[in-house]
């Protein structure tokens, strides 16, 4: 009942004044409650909409923050990877220069002839951007370079045998240990090592005892070779008529692991009592000592090694 209707009934005497006042108060109360209820509902609805919107935006922001924002986990990881790649490129560029800072003491390191000004010269395909810098330096400065020094030949023959079951990078890392262990590869001194001394070398330098014995046996055979051929150099280079074999491989997979020449050298060395001189090891040694130039013709080292072979 409205306020106007209540007053009209009171004037006609159909409704007592006290009842009229009660009805009017009740009507006003209901009206206020209705207004307040509507307002609260609107406020609650607005808050819920804002909360829902905020939640959705928050979800999107959190995902973006994790993957894209500066300082995020993914962004930091990307920066670390980029820094590592840049450092590796700098190392490879450094070891590809004309003169390496790696200390090869007793070995005569032959630098690049007319070094390529390109910091990333084209190399043999078995080298990749992830190749260890020490292996890159070995390729650029020693592999395929003719060696005529008896101590260096003995060293390369030992390292070629040592890398069987391992790899050249790991073997090159232990190169200085081998030099210390075997008296800078003085064959006459190594040949006189006793069993006790060999055992001490194996323990100190972590070289398998079988390989230590093999080196000592080979040293004894080298002493015999020097008596018969004057030098180890004359004996080994005699198999190729004292002139390096020059190959012209275009693809890495075409480079053989052994050849008829390495098989004939291996056969003769085994007959003389040498150890760790199978055809594959001998071919690896021939590549290392420059008896054969197996650099790909597209490699920046093919021409310099060929020139060294014709004009030692």
User: What tokens does 255 get?
Assistant: 């480079």
Q: Is 139 annotated as a binding residue?
A: yes
What is the pTM (predicted TM-score) of this model? 0.63
Contacts by 252-257, CB closer than 8 A, 24 or more apart: 252/124, 252/125, 252/126, 252/296, 255/294, 255/296, 256/283, 257/283, 257/284
Per mean pLDDT, which of 2-6, 117-121, 175-179 is the most reliable?
A: 175-179
**pLDDT value for 10:** 52
Q: Which of 129, 121, 187 is nearest to 158 (CA)?
A: 187
Mean pLDDT of 124-128: 89
**pLDDT value for 71:** 54
Q: Which residues contact 106 (CB under 8 A, 6 or more apart)?
A: 151, 152, 155, 179, 184, 185
Per mean pLDDT, which of 1-15, 111-125, 262-276 is the most reliable?
A: 262-276
- What is the sign of the dihedral through the CA atoms of 154, 155, 159 and 160? negative
Q: Are 136 and 127 in contact (CB under 8 A)?
A: yes
**pLDDT value for 29:** 56
Q: Is 120 annotated as a binding residue?
A: no
* Strand runs labelled E in the chain: 245-246, 292-293
**pLDDT value for 61:** 47
Does some domain include residue 25?
Answer: no
Q: Which of 9, 290, 243, 13 is nearest to 144 (CA)?
A: 290
pLDDT in tens, 127-167: 888 999 999 999 999 999 999 999 999 999 999 999 888 88
Does some domain include residue 157?
Answer: yes
Residue 259 has pLDDT above 90, yes or no: yes
Mean pLDDT of 85-96: 53
Does some domain include residue 67?
Answer: no
Does some domain include residue 106?
Answer: no
Expressed as residue numbers, the domain containing 252 is 133-309
- CA dist 226 to 161, 234, 278, Å? 21, 9, 21
Q: Which residues contact 20 (CB under 8 A, 6 or more apart)?
A: 6, 7, 9, 10
Q: Is 295 annotated as a binding residue?
A: yes
Q: Which residues contact 257 (CB under 8 A, 6 or more apart)?
A: 280, 283, 284
pLDDT in tens, 200-238: 999 999 999 999 999 999 999 999 999 999 999 999 999
Does some domain include residue 270?
Answer: yes
**pLDDT value for 244:** 94
pLDDT in tens, 274-312: 999 999 999 999 999 999 999 999 999 999 998 887 765
Distance CA 107, CA 4 (A): 119
Check which CATH number belongs to the domain holding 212 and give it.
1.10.340.30
Does some domain include residue 82?
Answer: no
Does some domain include residue 45?
Answer: no
**pLDDT value for 19:** 53
Distance CA 231, CA 188 (A): 12
Does some domain include residue 152?
Answer: yes
Percentage of residues of the chain with pLDDT beyond 90: 52
**pLDDT value for 310:** 76
**pLDDT value for 121:** 80
| Between residues 307 and 65, the one the model is more confident about | 307
- Please return the burial class of 94, using the count of CB atoms within 10 Å of its CB with bins 0-12, 13-18 and 19+: middle
pLDDT in tens, 13-60: 555 555 555 555 555 555 555 544 555 455 455 555 555 554 444 444
Q: How many structural domains is the chain composed of?
A: 1
| Between residues 89 and 194, the one the model is more confident about | 194
């Amino acid at each position: 009942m409205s306020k106007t209707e209540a007053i009209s009934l009171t004037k006609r005497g159909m409704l007592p004044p006290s009842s009229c006042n009660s009805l009017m108060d009740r009507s006003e109360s209901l009206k206020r409650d209705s207004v307040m209820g509507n307002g609260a509902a609107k406020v609650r609805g607005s808050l819920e909409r804002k909360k829902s919107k905020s939640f959705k935006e928050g979800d999107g922001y959190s995902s973006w923050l994790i993957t894209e924002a500066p300082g995020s986990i993914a962004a930091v990881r990307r920066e670390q990877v980029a820094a590592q790649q840049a450092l590796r490129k700098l190392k490879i560029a450094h070891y590809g220069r004309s003169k390496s800072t790696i200390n090869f003491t007793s070995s005569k390191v032959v630098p690049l002839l007319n070094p390529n000004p390109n910091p990333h010269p084209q190399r043999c395909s078995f080298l990749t951007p992830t190749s260890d810098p020490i292996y890159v330096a070995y390729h650029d400065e020693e592999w395929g370079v003719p060696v005529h020094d008896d101590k260096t030949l003995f060293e390369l023959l030992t390292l070629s045998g040592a890398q069987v079951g391992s790899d050249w990078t790991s073997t090159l890392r232990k190169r200085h240990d081998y030099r210390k262990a075997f008296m800078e590869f003085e064959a006459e001194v190594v040949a006189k090592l006793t069993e006790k001394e060999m055992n001490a070398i194996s323990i100190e330098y972590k070289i398998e005892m079988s390989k230590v014995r093999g080196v000592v046996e080979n040293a004894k055979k080298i002493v015999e070779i020097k008596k018969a051929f004057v030098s180890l150099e004359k004996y080994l280079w005699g198999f190729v008529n004292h002139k390096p074999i020059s190959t012209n491989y275009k693809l890495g997979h075409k480079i053989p692991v052994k050849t008829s020449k390495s098989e004939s050298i291996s056969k003769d060395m085994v007959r003389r009592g040498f150890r760790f001189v199978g055809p594959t090891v001998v071919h690896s040694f021939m590549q290392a000592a420059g008896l054969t130039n197996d650099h790909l013709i597209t490699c920046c080292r093919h021409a310099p090694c060929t020139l060294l072979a014709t004009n030692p």
